Amino acid sequence: MARDVGRSAWRTFRADRVVEVESTGEVVEVLDAPDAAQLVSDTITRTGYPFFARVRLPLSYDDARRLVAPIVATHEPDGANATVISIGGSDPDQLAGYLLSLRTPLEVLSPDSVREALLARLDALYRGNEAGRQGADEQP
């Protein structure tokens, strides 16, 4: 990360895209440096995705960060045993699939479209298994 003095803002850079580093010779006193890891996490999770969701996990902050890496979502403690994540994705259904893959209880706080996509996936899973169970019950 670096301070963009022209914009008076902090910026992050992808190391694989940096071709050359050149000193400007200017001395800059840094007084307001943000937490580097948090800035990178915020930048990664808030750019490049057309869609975002906020989800409450019944996990401590540390456990939530182990389950959903900071490069995937931002994390906010929500009491001692819960964490709210903000996560980006391509659309509600893709996010619903990812959330199901976490294999943990969760609550979609927003938007409703992600909650609806999650419920639609669960309903399809239930119906698919319900039909299979009924067929098994009819077999000798």
* Rounded (5°) CA angle 117-118-119: 90
pLDDT interval class at 132 (50, 70, 90): low
Long-range CB contact pairs, 11-16, < 8 A, 24+: 12/39, 12/40, 12/43
The mean pLDDT value for 92-97 works out to 96
What's the pLDDT tens digit per position in 33-69?
Answer: 888 777 766 666 666 688 899 999 999 999 999 999 8
Please report, for the chain, the start and end positions of each structural domain, with discontinuous segments joined by +.
2-138
For the chain, the first-to-last Cα distance in angstroms comes to: 67
Confidence of residue 135 (pLDDT cuts 50, 70, 90): low
Q: Residue 107 — pLDDT band, cuts 50, 70, 90?
A: very high
Helices 112-138 and 92-101 cross at an angle (nearest 10°) of 60
